[in-house]
Structures are given as structure tokens and as C-alpha cells.
Chain A
């Protein structure tokens, strides 16, 4: 497997009223293509900060982030935006759909920034929506007319419509009830099986089970890592127990 994401001495520091807070400290990390990497850690450990630094959503304070062979750490904001549209898809806890647009327009807003409006694109959008369980009757609906789970699934379709090299997800089931969260995770699993590289931040063990690699962060540094077989290829109970054991060892 080749590394799709790599960091070298990555640091991220925030200043607040003159106080410096070092959230990520000299972090060296490599994420392989095709992996479903889950980043876990206690609150304030730097999970989301790492995710946003890896995805070009935020710039590191020091160190480098390589996306393939491309060093994105020195990019300007507009260059990062161009990079994100070509390579990344995002799913957020707060979903962030555009409230003044219906389902189809929300997805096309993400798609048309990179692709031309062709019948093939429209049919792909519709097929993806069908794939995540959003029926035709919901396509013209606005976000405030959908449930949280439906919104998140629309958000996933928007994230993958441009076939990103890496799909980043930050607590994608955090705001959802159990059954909606499960449906969303099924979509992630399905995408991973199709070869999609995924980097997900979560503090939920059920969500983490869907990944095949778990990285544990503490105080901005990677303190442990755990690898699992592909989800669905082993027994869920034993998978859960062994992940729980790893997390206990990490001080979870």
C-alpha cells in the first residue's frame, strides 16, 4: 500500500490572549491509500485539529503535510481550496448543508465546482442518493424538511460526488440517533469496500469499529495504533473486544 497522506514534524499551535496552546506536537504520521483510518482520543487531544490539518482545511503552524507527493503545508488559502475540491470530501458532525438549496442543488454545488453539468453527473448523483437510501421523493426537499440522518447521508453524497481521493469525516454520527447513525456508518463501510480512503475522527467505539486502523492521540501526539481486518470479514463481538482492549491500554 502507498501512503496517500504523510506528515513530517507537524505542529499546530493556537494563541489565545497571548497564551500559546500546542495542540499538535511534532507529529509524524502516514496514512495509506484505501485505508479506513479512525482517529480517536480524549477531548482536547487534537483529533479534529489533526483532521483539518491533514485535509488542508487549516494550515499547520510548523512541519509538513504531504498529500501523495504534494506538500500542501505551504499552500495559500485559495490553493488549499483548489486542492480540497480535487482531492477531499468532507462529512461533518454539524452536517452543514446549504439551507437555501434543495437536496440535489446541495450536492451539485459541491460537484459543479469541479465537474461539468452533464447528464452522466446528474445520474451519478441520483444513483448515489439511491445508494445511501435517499428516495426520489426527498430530492427536491430542503434540509429543514429532512431528518438529521437523511441530511447526513445527503452530506456524504455531496462529499463523495467528486470521487475524492480521501474522505474526511469528523464525528459524522455525533448528532444522530442510533438507527440513523447506523445507516450512515453503513454508507461509510460500503464506500470503503469500494476502495474509498477514509479518515474519520470519532470518540464512539461503535463508529470506530468500521475502520481498519485506529490511531490514538494524546496531547497532540500519536501514542498508539491498532489495525483490524476489514469490517464484515470478522466477528463483530471479538472485533469490539479487541478494540476495547486497545483503547483501555491507551487509557480510554
Chain B
């Protein structure tokens, strides 16, 4: 006990002597603790969170989504007879991909259900507002909406799609379990019927499997069965979601972020390793005579080396204690975000054990490193220590003799210093390489994905027309396009379709096709490799698809569309951050799969001076509002004739929406007056502002990328600052005498600061080059997820130069303690 007290006092004296370095090391350990404990805790927590949510909510684990024209009771019959399926049920949902919250003006991923469906899909015990049953338009939202949209019970919410608005009162919140279609909203049967007229309906089959069943294998056979039950093509309407894939989808972003944070923790651990190693070696050299004195006084070398271990454990312990609470808080933040992404709003707590274990790991690491380095004390018995060991005896070859040097004396001396500290340079180099890697990748991501304009115009992966019209098919899409093109406000009209799904044979990933007659007339679909399809046997994919499917330009792939299979040649890969699993094909190419294909969508590009919203009003006045709006409207008009025409329009629109009627006309005689009309003026099924809608999505995405990359860069900068500050502080302490002599010889503090900081330049340059090389190598991994990153070599060079200048600046300012060296005190000591 007395011995430990003695050692602790020695350690505390050392900490007191090097207060600033100890403080910086403490900060570094704190940062490392925050990063490591949060990443480990959240990775473990996220892994356990989804199974826990599934248990808690009693939801199904696996889902199949089908179009309503495909679904039949036979699909359920198959499940009832299959022993692989332990339980199942069927629910209908409706949704609109372009639905936005009116207040927040944010796109919301919301699907509407009846309460009868929701009650069968999971435990539905909402927290309700008083008087919920008497509300006119009640809506029950998943509880994550409280966090993500700031909603409370009784709030009025309005959703918009194009020009339509749907208003509800929040009647309750419920905990949503696993679900493949975003957030659930339970509405009254009346509201559901109304919404059904405007939105797409899907049939969802939820199921749980018996233990040991391969979900994807089962889905394959189930798909074949469902295809067999109908004459319709089902490839575009069948999507399956296995439990594991669904969890991966929801937790991917936060797991990726946790992984990036863990990498940053790795960099800080490396920095701690370098710092402790370097500080102990430097301290032993500097204190070698004191060590000799202590040994002469009866201290064992083991006790002295233990004092170093205790010193670093105290510093690391303080840093770890300071870091653990923010670490757990950050972990909770990451997990809550993951839960919100999965639309779960219940309480989320970060697991504490992984956080504490990671702290323990850091302390063990510090113990190991400090113990390994502090053992060097044993090399110095008292007499050897008094004579300053053999460290000060130079019998080796002179490095860079000044006699032969032709460069500036300061650079020559700096380079001498650089070569004399080779081991220290390796550690510093590894840290700078890791930091360069982080900064360059952050830059590439921010440059490509953090720029809204670039996201929109170059890497969105889809055409972004000012206005997109889904036609009712009353006249040929081509004729309609020509008519629109004749309007002076319109600069370009493209015909396409957005509901055709294909699969690459044997790969169970549905791909949404972008189909255009001629891709040379598209604006926002840009290949990062190869070219876009020109002929009917060609297809292009996204960059992510290239990695997932392991394809190259020139490969031949078998494309599956329903029951039809055709071979296509891969011509190129498109940057697409919106949809990683998209395909690109010409109209003639798609007709090989579907000879009856006709485009039903018109992408309208306006003259830059034309306001899209105003022009939409022009279109509606000329071609009618979209038919769902008309069918759900009320009879209006001041005169009898106007009211009759309005009523007739509503009836025709209802027939078109509900029964798929393609053409109607009417003729009514009132008091000898013939009032006639037809569906000819109802050409618009749906009108959306494609570019504006995507701009918001891209804005949100860009903001997330911007936040992540900025955070990474800041952490990297702080780590560099701390490393170099400790390094300089320690070097100055070690070379106090030499620096004093140099000052006496007439070297100014600035010149010595330059020499000291220039010493890191060679290693920094090499490390920065290595880091840059590694960032280019690891870019492929990021591109698998986010698409092709744009790389401008000059811009990256500028970033690397900035990293180097920052390192030099940190080293230079870290060396400012040289100014405090008093040559007079040195000479008279």
C-alpha cells in the first residue's frame, strides 16, 4: 500500500510537470472513448434493437408486396398449406410516393391502412387523444412521428400530393413494428375509401417462417406460384422482404455511420499509441539522470516503470470517465435515429455494457502500451543513468552532413532532425495517413453528395422534368406530347413510364426501369462509365448495381420481365443516389420484353423563365384536373348548364378511376337545350412537380452527408492538432538544451519553430500520399452504396495540400513554446 502510494505520488508529479501534454492526452482519450464507446454500443444496440421491436410489437417478420390486380385468395391458400410458414395474414394499404407534409414541406413515406388491417398486422394499442372517436378525420400515426415530425396528440396534419391536400387530426400514436413500406397511418374507413381514389393500392402479405427456413428461397417459389395464379404479368408487382434484409435496410445508414465513427476511433487509438510511446521514450531520455537518482535512492526500476504506467492510466482514466457519458448519449442518438428510420417511436436505450467494455479496452490498451514502453527504464542502472545512458553518445554515421548541404540551413537542420527520429516518424506518418484518408473521402463525399445542384443535375439518376404528367390514355401519348411541345412555354417533352420492373435472371432484386426513346435527349441521366443504351439489345444499370451484380460494360445479362427472358448487353453505369437498383433501356429495347408497351408518362421541361406552378394551372384549364381530383370533387357552377357539366365530369371521372373506363361521352337535353361533353378534356391522370419534389429529397440527403463529412473532418482536425501539439511539446522539452544553444548562436525563435515544424513535412508528405492512395482504393466501397463519387484530381490535390498546410500550421503553433526558452537561463544554469 505504501509502495503504491509512493508510485502514485511519482506519477502525479510527472503529470504535474507535463500538465499541457497530459491534458491533451486526456482530451484525446476522451475523444477516443466517445467515438469507440458510442460506435460499439450503437452497433451492438442496433443489432439487438430490431428483434426486440419485433417481439414488442408482435409484428410479422417477412413481407411480400403485390399489386391488387395480382393478389388473390389463392396466394394465401398456398401459405396455409405450406409447413414452412408458421403464421401469415394479408393487409391492404394505399400510398403515394410523392406525399409531403404541408407544414414541414418534407416528403413523407406514409402508407394508409384501415384499423381492421392494422390490428391484424401487429399489436395496435395506441395512445389516444381525448374524444378521438368523435373526430371527423382521425389519423393514428406511428410514434416515431412525434420525434421526426414534432407532432403531438390533437395536432392538425395536412399532407399534399401535387395540388391535392388531405387534412387529419392526430387521434393517437402507436408503436410500429417491422414494416416494408415506411410509416403506417391508420385512418377511418371513410377516409381510406376517399384516399384510395387518389393513391396506389398494394396488397401486403406478412408471414413468419418455421425455424430454419430460407426466406429468400421460399419467396422465389412463392413468386412462381403467384405468377402461376394469374395471367397478368406479376414481375412488376411482386416484391419480397425477408426479415434480415428488412432489418439491414432500416439499420444500414446508422450502422454505416457507427462504422465510420468506429474507424475514427481507430485513428484516435493509433494517435494515443503514438503519443504514449513517444512521450514515455522522450520522458525517459529527458529524466534519465533523475531516474538514476531515484534508483540510487532505492527505487527499483520496476517501480519507476510502474510510475509511468500509473501516470498514463490516471490520464487515460480521467479521459475515459469524461468520455463515457457523451459516448453513451451519442450512442443513444444513433440508435434513436436508427429506430426512427425504422419508424419505431418507443423508448430506445443504448446498451451500457459494450460502452463500458470499450472503455475497459482503451484502458487495457493504454496499460499495455505504457507498460511495454516504460520497461526501457530497466536498461538504465544508476551509473549508466547518471551518464545519460548511451543515448547521447553518437558513434553512428553523420546523417546529412551540413558540409555537403546546399539547401537552406533551416531546412537542412530540419531534415537532420527528421532522419534522427525515424521511429517517431512512422507513428506520426500512420496517423497523418489515416487523417488524410478521412479528410479526402469526406471531401469526395461532400463534393459529390453534399452539393444539392450536383445531386439534382448529375447524380440523381432520374430525369427531373419540371412537370410530370401521367396520362389517362385518351389520346396517344405521342400526340399529347406533340401538342404540348407546340406550346411556347415548353422547351422539351419526353415520353416514358415509371412502373416497369425487371430482374436480372437469378438475382432476386427488382429493378425499376427508366425507359426513353432516345437517351441522348435526357438531361439528368448521366453515365459515369460507358454510355447509355442506343439499341434495342442494350441496357444500362446504376453504379451500385455494377458492384452488387459484379457487372462490367460489354457483359451480357439475361433480363427477366414476368415470364419473358431476353439477353441484353450492358452499355454503361449511371450515377444514381435516388435508386440504387434502377435500369435504363430504350423504348424499342423494352418492346422486346413487352411488345405492347406504350409510354404513359410525359416529362415536360419548361423554358427557364416559366413558373412550373403557373403552367400547371394552364395545363389543368386546358386538359382538366387530374381525374382523381375531379371524381372526389363536388358539383359546382352558377348556372344549370355549369352544374350539369360539373356533375357529368364527376361521374365520368369516377368511372375512369374506379372501373378503368377509357372513354365516355354524354349528351343531355334540358328544356330543348342539348348539353354534351366527353372525357376528351380529361387527359391528366396525375400531375406532379418532379424537379421540385426531388429537390427537397436531395436537400435532406445533402444535409445529412454534409453533417457527417463535416463532423469527420472536425474530428480528424482535432486529432491532428492534439497529436502535433503533444509531439512538439515533448520534442521541445527533450531538446531544450540544443534549442537554447541554437538561440545563443543567433537563431531566432521563428527560425527554430520553422525547423521544428518542417521536420514533420517529409513524413507528412509521404503519409498524405499514402492516405490519398488509400482513399482512392477505399472509394470503391463507398461507391457500392452511394454511387460514383466525382473525383477531380486537382481538387483532391488542393485538399491534400490543405491537410499538409494544416499539419504544418499545427506543428508550427505547437512549437511556439520555443519562444519561452531563455538562452540566458540556459547559459547560467
Contact = CB atoms under 8 A, between A and B. Distances in A.
A36 to B, nearest CB: 21
Contact of B748 (A81, A88, A142, A145): A81
B746 A102 contact: no
A232 to B, nearest CB: 30
Contacts of B745: 84-85, 90, 109-110, 113, 158
Interface stretch (B391-399, B437-445, B572-580, B686-694): B391-399
B742 interface: yes
Interface residues of A, number: 39
B827 A57 contact: yes
Contacts of A101: 398, 402, 416
Where chain B touches its partner, the secondary structure class is: helix
B744 A113 contact: no
A99 B744 CA distance: 15
A81 B824 contact: no
B741 interface: yes
Interface residues of B, number: 34
A35 interface: no
A108 interface: yes
Contacts of B740: 96
Interface string B406-418: 1001001100100
A105 B400 CA distance: 10
A98 B420 contact: no
B686 to A, nearest CB: 75
A177 B416 CA distance: 34
Interface in A64-121: 77-78, 81-86, 88, 90, 92, 94, 96-102, 104-105, 108-110, 112-114, 117
A113 B824 contact: no
Given A96-B827, A99-B394, A104-B401, A117 B406 contact: yes
Nearest to A104: B403
B393 A142 contact: yes
Interface in A108-146: 108-110, 112-114, 117, 122, 140, 142, 144-145
B676 interface: no
Contact of A48 (B420, B737, B828): B828
A52 B746 contact: no
Nearest to A125: B403
Contact of A114 (B401, B746, B827): B746
Given A78-B749, A81-B747, A58 B738 contact: no
Nearest to B408: A112
Contacts of B823: 57-58
B755 to A, nearest CB: 11
Nearest to B824: A58
A90 B401 CA distance: 23
B401 A105 contact: yes
Interface in B314-337: none
B744 A90 contact: yes
Contact of B742 (A105, A109, A145): A109
Given A52-B827, A81-B749, A96 B409 contact: no
B452 interface: no
A227 B741 CA distance: 33
B822 to A, nearest CB: 8
A170 interface: yes
A52 B824 contact: yes
A85 B747 contact: yes
Nearest to B823: A57
Given A90-B744, A144-B394, A158-B745, A109 B827 contact: no
A84 B819 contact: no
A219 B738 CA distance: 32
A81 B827 contact: no
Contacts of B392: 99, 144
Interface string A166-204: 000010000000000000000000000000000000000
B395 A113 contact: no
A77 B749 contact: yes
Contacts of A97: 741
B743 interface: yes
A82 B751 CA distance: 11
A98 B392 CA distance: 10
Contacts of A100: 394, 420, 738
Contacts of B827: 52, 57, 92, 94, 96, 170
B750 interface: yes
A241 B701 CA distance: 95
Nearest to A121: B403
Interface in A17-68: 48, 52, 57-58
A113 B747 contact: yes
Nearest to B406: A117
A134 B404 CA distance: 20
A112 B401 CA distance: 13
Interface string B722-761: 0000000000000001101111111111110000000000
A167 to B, nearest CB: 13
B405 interface: yes
A122 B393 contact: no
A84 B746 CA distance: 5
A112 B823 CA distance: 20
A98 B738 contact: yes
A96 B741 contact: yes
A27 to B, nearest CB: 17
Interface centre among B745, B749, B819 (most CB of A within 10 A): B745
A112 B748 CA distance: 13
Interface of B: 392-395, 398, 401-403, 405-406, 409, 412-413, 416, 420, 737-738, 740-751, 819, 823-824, 827-828
5 contacts: A52-B824, A90-B744, A90-B745, A101-B416, A113-B745
Given A98-B741, A101-B398, 15 more contacts: A48-B828, A77-B749, A77-B819, A78-B749, A81-B746, A84-B746, A85-B745, A96-B741, A96-B744, A99-B392, A104-B402, A108-B403, A109-B745, A112-B409, A113-B745
Q: Which 8 A-B pairs have the closest CB atoms?
A: A85-B746, A112-B409, A108-B402, A58-B824, A78-B748, A81-B748, A84-B746, A142-B394
